[in-house]
A = this chain, B = another copy of it.
Amino acid sequence: MRRLDASDPGFAAAFDALVNDRRESASDVSADVAAIVARVKAEGDPALADYTARFDRFDLDASGWSISKADCAAAYAALAPELRGALDLAAERIRAYHAAQRPEDRDYRDAAGARLGARWRAVDAAGVYVPGGRAAYPSSVLMNILPAKVAGVERIVMVTPTPDGTVNPVVMAAAHIGGVDEIWRVGGAQAIAALAYGTDRIAPVDVVTGPGNAWVAEAKRQLYGVVGIDMVAGPSEIVVVADAKNEPHVIAADLLSQAEHDPTSQSILFTDDGDFADAVAAAVAHVIPTLGTAPTMQASWAEYGAVIVVPNLADAIPLCDRLAPEHLQLAVDAAEADALFGQVRHAGSVFLGRQTPEAIGDYVAGPNHVLPTGRRARFSSGLSVTDFMKRTSFLALDADALAAIGPAAVALATAEGLPAHALSVQNRLKPNSP
């Protein structure tokens, strides 16, 4: 863990180093992924079966390619009531938040008499990647599927590896709640390639979203353009801005809630009180060994954790903006949280006040938990309904509207050396000429 003080002479350089930390895997899997993608494109299902046997030790032909909707419904019915209720509440709140994201069509006539507009439609089919093993999170299933469902996508396909045949019943229950249409027991780069190009069994989709390991992320990057994808995601991160009126152990747990995701996750505290900073650091050290995710938290906190003392909390905001964090928690009184938030330029999602731990946003708040990482909140946004839709602009002119704006198009086309463009307009400006 780094402890920085904004009043130290070396602070600017130390903070620069923090901002430029490269936490993402440097392992170059691009050649491996390119080979897998090319083989799935060429061979289809037999390639999927071969990779799945090799990587997941699972025989698709012998044991089944897919998980049925009935099995998912049964997994949902078999959940403990408290957990089922929690998933239902999460789904209801995620649906409600995302429903309001549906964009409105436009269709209007302007002063020149031109009819103009934009029309939104869902994509035909969406594919959602769900990791197997440790990172199989039912909450992520809901966060990826429900925006597609709200968008109106008619075919939602889930792909997930089932190593050694293992399936996660809570993930299946979440798929049931989300209304997945197909679940295929394939993972890795080969699953992304199958979604993009299609195989005999798996029809292609238009958009692929969902978290995955380095192979999955690289496959999405390579297939970007063949299909639409969500932003390539890196390790999770949180910045907490807190004053000394918080209890140190409360803020410590907030920091650790990101640290437990992955050894490359990052948790950073900004505070205006050096003693509080030290108390939080002590609380972190105290809490880590009490929880089952201690090794991951310890690795993340030791390598990437930071506690930063600033003269005033307002001084933290420009520094936060340089980090453009995925999650920003403003653990101060409500009015001050609002004031600080007003100054924030770059953050994926912001949690205001002392009673709003970031973990609420991972599950039941409603906004999407798929958020830009690695400073990408400077230019990108969390997953939304519009990621599963596309906009078609349209134009209709009558003869008068064309007469009003057509000559300018002819002038510009001529200036650009595009005579057929000019002619296609001119032909209509003189409708009686041959």
Contacts and interface: CB of A to CB of B under 8 A. Distances in A.
A292 B419 contact: yes
Contacts of A357: 424-425, 427-428
21 contacts: A86-B411, A87-B412, A114-B365, A228-B379, A250-B428, A253-B424, A256-B423, A257-B423, A259-B420, A334-B396, A349-B393, A355-B399, A355-B401, A355-B428, A356-B396, A357-B425, A358-B424, A359-B409, A360-B405, A366-B395, A379-B390
Given A259-B420, A364-B412, A367-B393, 18 more contacts: A89-B408, A116-B367, A124-B378, A138-B412, A228-B380, A253-B420, A261-B418, A291-B419, A292-B417, A334-B398, A355-B402, A356-B397, A359-B409, A361-B395, A363-B408, A365-B405, A367-B394, A381-B391
Nearest to A87: B412
A395 B86 contact: no
Given A83-B411, A363-B412, A352 B420 contact: no
A359 B397 contact: no
Contacts of A395: 349-352, 356, 360-361, 365-367
Shortest beta-carbon contacts, A-B, top 4: A228-B379, A367-B393, A352-B396, A86-B408
A407 B118 CA distance: 42
B123 A408 contact: no
Interface stretch (A38-46, A49-57, A92-100): A92-100
Nearest to A297: B420
Contact of A408 (B90, B349, B368): B90
A254 B426 CA distance: 11
Interface residues of A, number: 123
A245 interface: no
A223 to B, nearest CB: 11
A128 interface: no
Contact of A417 (B253, B293, B360): B293
A280 interface: no
A266 interface: no
Given A124-B345, A249-B427, A395-B356, A260 B419 contact: yes
Interface in A105-138: 106, 110, 112, 114-116, 118, 121, 123-124, 134, 137-138
Identical subunits present: 2
A421 interface: yes
Contacts of A100: 106
Interface of A: 82-83, 85-87, 89-90, 93, 96-97, 100-101, 106, 110, 112, 114-116, 118, 121, 123-124, 134, 137-139, 170, 206-207, 221, 224-225, 227-228, 231-232, 247, 249-250, 253-254, 256-257, 259-261, 287, 291-293, 297, 334, 337, 341, 344-368, 372, 374, 376-382, 384, 390-399, 401-402, 405-409, 411-413, 415-425, 427-428, 434
B425 A360 contact: yes
A344 B119 CA distance: 10
A164 to B, nearest CB: 18
B123 A350 contact: no
B413 A362 contact: yes
Contacts of A231: 225
B393 A368 contact: yes
Contacts of A358: 424
Contact of A402 (B352, B356, B368): B356
A289 B270 CA distance: 70
Contacts of A405: 89, 93, 360, 364-365
